[in-house]
């Protein structure tokens, strides 16, 4: 596994972010500086939302999402992610790469890094089972989640673009954030969006 900037990726699974870390945009900068023709209102809502992406996508698609776990396991957290989450480097975490799909269409690729020391038993077991999206697990546990440190960027990778229904040369919108549950930083998350979401 490789790490580049804030994005964890496994080369056969996902590609590194095409923009340097310093070029990630805050939501405020994204809304002010991005061409509204190139970023329609629905895309802006998806990229800047601080709520559950699972709930938002299920509302948008009028039905439950399917979860496809591509890669999941426990591994040490790299120093950069540890600093962002306020934990010790090399602390154990569950790292998970998933597709979220609806009606056979892949809508979103998500990579989550969750320190095991910050997870309650029920949530950790639910994540390890790999059946439900993280947002749905949090809802089921009745644990309110808050997203912060949201940053928005773009990536370019032909394989990932093809899987998400885009052209090989298209740059895909993505975002990175932290997720806090009951005031405890619980996850570092990267999400890559399919253009199908705004078609």
Give whole-number Cα distances, 147 to 16, 42, 63, 67, in Å.
Answer: 22, 19, 23, 21
Q: Confidence band (pLDDT; 50, 70, 90) for 71?
A: confident
Tens-digit pLDDT profile for residues 176-194: 888 887 766 678 888 999 9
Both structure tokens of 121: 């038993």
Both structure tokens of 177: 């954030």
The pLDDT, as a whole number, for residue 107 is: 94
Q: Confidence band (pLDDT; 50, 70, 90) for 102?
A: very high
The pLDDT, as a whole number, for residue 108 is: 93
For the chain, the average pLDDT equals 80
Asked whether the predicted pLDDT for residue 149 surpasses 60, the reply is yes
The pLDDT, as a whole number, for residue 82 is: 81
List of E strands, the chain: 2-4, 7-9, 66-76, 92-102, 105-115, 145-156, 171-181, 184-193
Q: In terms of DSSP bridges, do strands 2-4 and 7-9 run parallel, antiparallel, or are they unpaired?
A: antiparallel
* Mean pLDDT on 92-102: 88
Given strand 145-156, what is the order of strands in its sheet?
A: 66-76, 92-102, 105-115, 184-193, 171-181, 145-156
Distance CA 166, CA 83 (A): 34
Tens-digit pLDDT profile for residues 3-36: 333 344 443 444 443 444 557 899 999 999 998 8
Asked whether the predicted pLDDT for residue 87 surpasses 70, the reply is yes
The pLDDT, as a whole number, for residue 152 is: 93
The pLDDT, as a whole number, for residue 183 is: 67
Helix crossing, 121-129 with 134-141: angle to 10°? 150
- If we measure between CA atoms, which residue out of 84, 144, 77 comes closest to residue 113? 77
Tens-digit pLDDT profile for residues 168-178: 888 899 998 88
Domain-wise residue ranges, the chain:
2-198
Angle subtended at Cα 154 by Cα 114 and Cα 57, rounded to the nearest 5 degrees = 60
pTM of the complete model: 0.82
* Mean pLDDT on 50-66: 88
* Mean pLDDT on 74-87: 82
Q: Could you say which architecture CATH assigns to the domain 2-198?
A: 3-Layer(aba) Sandwich (3.40)
Distance CA 165, CA 163 (A): 6
């Amino acid at each position: 596994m490789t790490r580049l900037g804030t994005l964890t990726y496994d080369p056969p699974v996902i590609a590194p972010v095409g923009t340097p870390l310093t070029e990630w945009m805050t939501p405020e900068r994204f809304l002010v500086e991005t061409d509204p023709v190139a970023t329609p209102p629905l895309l802006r809502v998806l990229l800047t939302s601080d709520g559950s992406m699972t709930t938002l996508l299920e509302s948008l698609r009028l039905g439950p999402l399917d979860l496809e776990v591509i890669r999941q396991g426990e591994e040490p957290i790299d120093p950069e992610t540890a600093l962002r989450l306020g934990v010790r480097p090399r602390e154990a975490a569950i790292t998970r790469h998933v597709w979220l799909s609806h009606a056979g269409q892949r809508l979103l690729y998500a990579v989550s890094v969750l320190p095991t020391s910050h997870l309650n038993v029920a949530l950790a077991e639910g994540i390890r089972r790999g059946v439900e999206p993280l947002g749905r697990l949090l809802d089921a546990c009745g644990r309110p989640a808050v997203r912060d440190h949201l940053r928005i960027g773009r990536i370019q990778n032909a394989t990932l673009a093809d899987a998400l229904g885009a052209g090989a040369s298209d740059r895909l919108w993505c975002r990175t954030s932290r997720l806090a549950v009951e005031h405890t930083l619980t996850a570092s998350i990267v999400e890559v969006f399919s253009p199908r979401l705004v078609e």
